[in-house]
A and B are shown apart, each in its own frame.
Chain A
Amino acid sequence: MATQVFSLPKTLKGDVKYSFCPGCDHGVAVRLVAEVLDELGIIDNTILSAAIGCSVTTYDFINVDALEAPHGRAVAEAVGIKRARPDKIVFTYQGDGDFASIGLAEGIHAALRGEKITAICINNTTYGMTGGQLGPTTLVGQVTTTSPTGRNLEYYGYPIKLAEHIALCDGTAFSARVSLDSVPNIKKAKQAIKKAFEVQMKGLGFGFVEILSTCPTNWKMSPDKAHARVRDEMMPVFKPGIYKDVTAE
């Protein structure tokens, strides 16, 4: 008798069809969040603060109550929801254009204040939805539509390393960077997302996970080459790991 070892999480809306491009790891990240909400049994008690970018459609797929925030303000909105309803679990699901660029101030200050929310940021080194422009996480030398000769260090400087910055904030309870380039790393990513929710449920502080993801369309790569790029080019710069975990100390 065969036993079922994989099924779609109940938190995902029935028969969901993603609007993401082929090979985009947003799909995996949304599924991992849904699986974690399933395992923690907090579906009915969770509110999503939705962001702008490719991540905007998350509320079409996850079966939780959601509010849409203006560009970059998802963390600020999540803080408002959490302060009004401290009994609820509140999380954001953002891209790097949302969290690392226009919303960086909200993110850092929420971490400094130790707001008891969870922020999940997808890092694909570009602005995906608007056509692959240079973003704050674009690697040095990376070709984008607004840096056709590659990111120039003299002119644009270095990419931001979010997980390390958030880990330096005293109010942060958990900060990690994970990658979705391979199945073992996908399993590690799920553990990190779960931890980021658990620190919020225990009231310990700000939970943050940066997820390295692909953007095959704007990188102009096939899905398998895009995952090889995550492994070979992104992971040496954005090193995966747990940068802060107060429960381990």
Chain B
Amino acid sequence: MSHIVINGDKCKACYLCIEECPKKLIKISKNTNSLGNHIVEFDDPKKECLGCAMCATRCPDLAITEVYKG
């Protein structure tokens, strides 16, 4: 099952990954991290993630640390 792993503590809330995801599976979370940022979270109830890694390629702060495909 394709999915991504987000390290919320590194997220600086630029939200570039939200625009990048072709399936729009990343959204702004209600939770904040130690920096006080509303981090992003991965929400994929219908298992639509393609494992394309575009979000991780775009993320400037290495907050998306792992992407799995298949």
| Chain A residues at the B interface, C-beta cutoff of 8 Å | 1-8, 12, 16-18, 20-28, 31, 183, 186-187, 216, 223-224, 227
Further contacts, 19 of them, CB under 8 A, given A12-B62, A18-B60, A183-B58: A2-B1, A2-B2, A4-B67, A5-B53, A6-B57, A6-B66, A8-B62, A17-B10, A18-B62, A22-B12, A23-B14, A26-B60, A27-B60, A28-B58, A31-B62, A187-B57, A223-B14, A223-B16, A224-B19
Interface size range on B against A: 20 to 34
Other-chain contact of B15, A6, A20, A186, A223 (Cβ < 8 Å): A223
Task: Classify the interface of chain B: helix, strand, loop or mixed.
Answer: mixed
- Asked whether, in the complex, the Cβ of A5 is within 8 Å of the Cβ of B68, the reply is yes
Task: Classify the interface of chain A: helix, strand, loop or mixed.
Answer: mixed
Kindly name the residue among B1, B10, B13, B60 whose own CB sees the greatest number of chain A CB atoms within 10 A. B60
Taken residue by residue from 1 to 23, chain B's Cβ proximity to chain A (1 for < 8 Å, 0 otherwise) reads as 11100000110111110011000
In the complex, what distance in Å separates the CA atom of A129 from the CA atom of B15? 23
| Chain B residues at the A interface, C-beta cutoff of 8 Å | 1-3, 9-10, 12-16, 19-20, 51, 53-54, 56-62, 64-70
Other-chain contact of B60, A5, A17, A24, A183 (Cβ < 8 Å): A24
Across the A-B interface, the 6 shortest Cβ-Cβ residue pairs: A27-B60, A6-B67, A22-B12, A2-B68, A23-B14, A223-B14
Other-chain contact of A28, B12, B60, B65 (Cβ < 8 Å): B60
Interchain nearest-CB distance for A246 vs B (Å)? 29
In the complex, what distance in Å separates the CA atom of A218 from the CA atom of B20? 23
Known interface pairs A183-B54, A223-B14, A224-B15; A2-B62 also in contact (CB < 8 Å): no
Collect the chain B residues with CB atoms within 8 Å of residue A8's CB. Answer: 62, 65
Collect the chain B residues with CB atoms within 8 Å of residue A216's CB. Answer: 14
